[in-house]
Structure 1
Amino acid sequence: MDWFTAPEYWLSRLVFQRGLAVVYLIAFLGAAVQFRALIGERGMLPVPAFLRRTPFRLAPSVFQFHYSDRFFAVVAWSGVGLSAALVAGVGGLVPLWAAMAMWTLLWAAYLSIVNVGQRWYGFGWESLLLEAGFLAIFLGNDRTAPPVLALWLARWLLFRVEFGAGLIKLRGDSCWRDLTCLYYHHETQPMPGPLSWLFHHLPRPLHRIEVAANHFAQLVVPFGLFAPQPVASVAAAIVVLTQLWLVLSGNFAWLNWVTILLALTVIDGSLAAKVLPLPEPPAQPEAPMWFAGMVIACTLLVVALSYWPVRNMLSSGQRMNMSFNAYHLVSTYGAFGSIGRTRAEVVFEGTDEAELTEHTVWREYEFKGKPGDPRRLPRQWAPYHLRLDWLLWFAAISPAYARPWLLPFIERLLRNDRATLRLLRHNPFGETPPKYVRARLYEYRFTTRRELLRDRVWWHRTLVSEYLPPLSAAKAKSES
């Protein structure tokens, strides 16, 4: 079946699968480390309470059959171990069916976590990882050449990621159309990185060029992915370069990295070998009939499920990052249809004083990723995902978004909950919990070059209003 396989893409498949296994490893590691405070039995949004009101058909998950924090930890750490085995190349050493089983177990385990993760897992890159992970099952291993149909499905996913993001911008905020969105975005994005200050202070004409280049990369280049080689490889290379630009300018978990890995599946290894010192391709046996049948069935499934994403992209009411089925297959993607012009941050403070007066000393909690202390340069966290920090960005924009989990978070600060404090960078109260915790809303902006040199601060902040009045442990517990 020469028509069925494309041996020249063997290296592209290898890099994609090894890279995707790294992303899976990071995703499972983040779940293992963060889940107790977020969704554990005593978490802010406990899984058991969610499962009591949600049937299997709406949230298929192994946890529908049994949940305990210990079982969740077993699933998450097993995912870390299985991912590490695939990173090490075990998938290429075992029989084809065993490699497919390994990828299927990873996909099912992460699907189980996402489907009980509630708001903490409501991000487009969760669906992207699951959809890419599902395709990885059908790309095979060293026992067969990469199947052409699976490679085309990867291109179709990449097209939807890029073109969907381009459309949502073009239809959204007017600043995308007048090329001014990047006057603000590097400063107001959810979690700036260590270079975001520099990107923000680029000359404004360059910001306009950035936006125009983004439109080209997301609205024109994706069509080149379906063109003959070498045009498709050139289109993929442009996607890789634009995604690396985004990696340097901010923190978007593994969104950019999975997109880069998908783009690498488009690059023809025989063309790349002409300019790079690549190894000789290994012997790749003919695909067995049962494997060909499964790849064809997967292709037909994706074609059928593509109706809803296509309809969404063609709609004037296009929705961002939506999964049309509980298995997160063939979703629709897109982000930042609207850009904030100013940055709001919620700052949490506590005091160990029993009596509150105008002279009360309040001490500030520091988070790992989100802006806090104006003197602290933002760090690079991606592809690791700090879920609490990200949701606090939304909470600053809309308090209603944080209503289900904000008071439980405060209540846990007031009793020095160990799992919750592990999500923070700094707890100012040591072993003795505070008597009261409050939250205040600030407006943040990057300092100018002169302010940075003079004051040694990266941010300037101005108090806007009280976000949450001082709460004691008893009051927070009664209201949560």
Structure 2
Amino acid sequence: MEWFTAPEYALSRLVLLRLLAAVYLLGFVAAARQFRALLGARGLLPIPRYLRRNGWREAPSLFQWHYSDRFFAAVAWGGAAVSAGLCAGLGDAVPLWASMLLWALLWVLYLSIVNVGQTWYAFGWESLLLEAGTLAVFLGNAAVAPPWPVLLLVRWLLFRVEFGAGLIKLRGDRCWRDLSCLKYHHETQPMPGPFSWYFHHLPMPLHRVEVAANHVAQLGLPVLLFAPQPVASVAAAAMVVTQLWLVASGNFAWLNWLTVALAFGALRLPGAPSPHGHRAPLWFEVLVLAFTALVLALSWWPARNLLSRGQLMNYSFNRLHLVNTYGAFGSINRVRFEVVVEGTAEAVPRVGTHWSEYGFRGKPGELRRRPRQFAPYHLRLDWLMWFAAISPSYARPWFPGLLDRLLAGDRATLRLLRHNPFPGEPPRHVRAVLYRYRFSTPAERRADGSWWHRERVGTYYAAVGR
């Protein structure tokens, strides 16, 4: 079937799959490094306790058969090893069927983690990685030309990511419609980056240009992905540029880089196609067509969601995360609040007690510490601390446990932090204070070198002792 193959996209597929493997690698490494404190047997939201309440139907996962911290580490580091191999070209060095099995293995391993990850994995880019991972299984390797049906599914996924985000904004906060949202967003986003301070201080007319360009990128360009070439390539390239703009302005884990990877499904790169290996075996064509039919059938729910006034954001319609709906920042915070965790060595806290502040890796804390670039790596605790500052209800299941681990000097928890003010002996008491943070003005920045200024709002969590 001549229409089935698209050899002119061979180089684009290679870039797409290498980027996707790199994102998988980051996801598995982050899981391996952070799970003991967050999800381990003695974690803040232990997987064993979750599995006692949720069976295969609610949480399909390898851990339904067996869970131990050692087994989780084996799954995470094993996934990282396979991801690194695929990123280095392993998928093209093995037969087609073996390449498909390697990509399927990554999907099974990461799905097993996400489905027991609870609040720590309740982010849209987890579902996006899994959905993109299923497409990778059927994209083939160097032995066959890229299958055209799967390239179209990649574009359909990219369309839903961008168009869904655009619609959720237009239907959401008024500031997206009056073009003023980025007056606040660079300052109040979950984890500002090293250039966010400069983005925040752009003149208001440029903020309006930013918002207008975002609407064009998310509502206009996705439609052109299905246009003939070179229109589709121009649209995809423009979307890559907008994603790199977001990379420069903040930390959004691997969302932007995964979106860039998907753009190569429409971005046709120059270069002569391989002179051999274009003909796909019949069994591969049958599997691709069956998979395409499945995705189209499952697309009914996200397509209907796009047209709904009650549009859902970042929602999976099945526990396998096969075809999902996406979107982000339908509403924008005007004020930034931060939860600051403190401890003291005094036996009985009283007025005048000296409290020492714990430092987090990514979220704002120390006023003279410039925001760091962590994306595409995902600091899960720091992200959840942003939600905790918005409303204590987000933190109720795990925040008391966090304070308990600090009182105990738990090593796994302390490894998630940047600074422990009690390196010798754990504190006698800990508490949490709520502050209002804002970026310093240029004048304040010149005067005292501060990136942030803050005002105490009140007590977030009263002092608790051992």
Query: What TM-score range do you get, normalising by the shorter chain?
Result: over 0.9
Distance of 2:350 and 2:101 partners within structure 1: 63
SS at match of 1:229: coil
Partner residue, 1:158: 158
Partner in structure 2 of residue 411 of structure 1: 404
Extract structure 1 runs of 4+ deviating beyond 3 A: 278-282
SS at match of 1:83: helix
Partner of residue 202, structure 2: 202
Distance 1:160 1:215 in 2: 14
Is residue 323 of structure 2 the alignment partner of residue 291 of structure 1?
A: no
Indicate whether 1:323 and 2:316 are aligned. Answer: yes
Instruction: Supply the AA of the counterpart residue of 2:209.
Output: I
CA distance in 2, matches of 1:62, 1:281: 39
Query: Deviations 1:300-321 (Å, cap 9, x if unpaired)?
Result: 1100110110111111010100
CA separation in 2, counterparts of 1:452 and 1:430? 31
Q: Which amino acid aligns with 1:14?
A: L
Out of 370, 373, 376, which is 2:366 matched to? Answer: 373
Looking at structure 1, the residues matched to 60 and 339 of structure 2 have their Cα atoms a distance apart, in angstroms, of 34
* 8 Å Cα contact 2:10/2:273 also seen in 1: no
Q: Which amino acid aligns with 2:116?
A: V
Which residue number in structure 2 is paired with residue 428 of structure 1? 421
Contact 2:7 2:278 in 1 (8 A): no
Alignment check: 8 A CA contact 1:21 1:84 kept? yes
Alignment of 1:298-337 (within 5 A): 298-337=291-330
2:156 partner letter: W
String of CA shifts for 1:353-401, please: whole Å, max 9, x gaps.
Answer: 1121212110000000000001000100000000000000000001011
- Note if 1:455 corresponds to 2:451: no
Name the amino acid aligned to 1:199.
F
SS of the residue 2:324 aligns to: coil
Aligned 1:177-196 pairs, distance under 5 A: 177-196=177-196
Aligned to 1:259: 259
- Contact 1:217-1:238 within 8 A present in 2 as well: yes
Q: Are residues 1:445 and 2:438 paired?
A: yes
SS in 1 for 2:437: strand
Gaps of 5+ in 2: none
- Give the aligned partner of residue 36 of structure 1: 36
Equivalences, count: 466
Map 1:25-424; keep pairs closer than 5 Å.
25-269=25-269, 273=270, 278=271, 281-424=274-417
SS at match of 1:157: helix
Change in CA separation of 1:89 and 1:455 when aligned onto 2, cut-off 3 Å: same
Q: Which amino acid aligns with 1:185?
A: H
Backbone CA RMSD of aligned residues: 0.8
* 1:470 corresponding residue in structure 2: 463
Q: Quick one: distance in 2 between partners of 1:90 and 1:159?
A: 29
State TM-score, norm by structure 2: 0.99
Is the Cα contact below 8 Å between 2:155 and 2:266 reproduced in 1? yes
Structure 1 unaligned regions, length at least 5: 474-480
Equivalent residue letter for 1:49: R
Which letter maps to 2:89? G
SS in 1 for 2:397: helix
1:77/1:440 Cα in 2 relative to 1: closer, same or farther (>3 Å)? Answer: same
Distance 1:145 1:177, change over 3 A: same
Question: What secondary structure, in the 3-state scheme, does the structure 2 residue paired with 1:468 have?
Answer: strand
Q: Distance in 1 between matches of 2:180 and 2:21?
A: 37
The question of whether the paired residues in 1 share the 8 Å contact of 2:431 and 2:461 is answered with: yes
CA distance in 2, matches of 1:279, 1:248: 33
Matched residues in 1 for 2:431 and 2:65: separation? 39
**Following TM superposition, by how much is the alpha carbon of 1:336 offset from its aligned partner in structure 2, in angstroms?**
0.2
Aligned amino acid, residue 382 of structure 1: A
SS of aligned partner of 2:318 = coil
CA distance, structure 1, for counterparts of residue 105 and residue 250 of structure 2: 31
Could you say what secondary structure the match of 1:220 adopts?
Answer: helix
**In 2, are the aligned partners of 1:416 and 1:431 still within 8 Å (CA)?**
no
Distance 2:401 2:462 in 1: 15
Residues 161-205 of structure 1 deviation map (CA, whole Å, 9 limit, x = unaligned): 000000000000000000000000000000000000000001110
User: Hey, what's the Cα distance between the residues in 2 that align with 1:224 and 1:356?
Assistant: 63
User: Per-residue displacement from partner, 1:43-87 (whole Å, max 9, x unpaired)?
Assistant: 000000000000111111000110000000000000010001101
Amino acid at match of 2:54: T
By how many angstroms is 1:279 displaced? 6.6
Q: Deviations over 1:190-228 (max 9, x none)?
A: 000000000000111000010001001101110000000
Q: Which amino acid is 1:240 matched to?
A: V
- What residue number does 1:478 align with? none
TM-score (norm. length: structure 1): 0.96
- SS of 2:340's equivalent in the other structure is strand
Are the aligned partners of 1:7 and 1:284 in contact in 2 as well (CA < 8 Å)?
no
The aligned amino acid for 1:362 is W
Structure 2 partner of 1:476: none
**2:10 matches 1:17:** no
Distance of 2:90 and 2:151 partners within structure 1: 21
Identity of aligned residues (%): 67
Distance between the aligned counterparts of 1:249 and 1:172, measured in 2? 22
Whichever residue aligns with residue 176 of structure 2, its letter is: W
Looking at structure 2, the residues matched to 251 and 282 of structure 1 have their Cα atoms a distance apart, in angstroms, of: 41
Structure 1 position 282, deviation (Å): 5.0
Q: Which moved more, 1:158-167 or 1:356-365?
A: 356-365
Q: In structure 1, the residue corresponding to 2:303 is in which secondary structure? A: helix
CA contact (8 A) 2:434 2:460 kept: yes
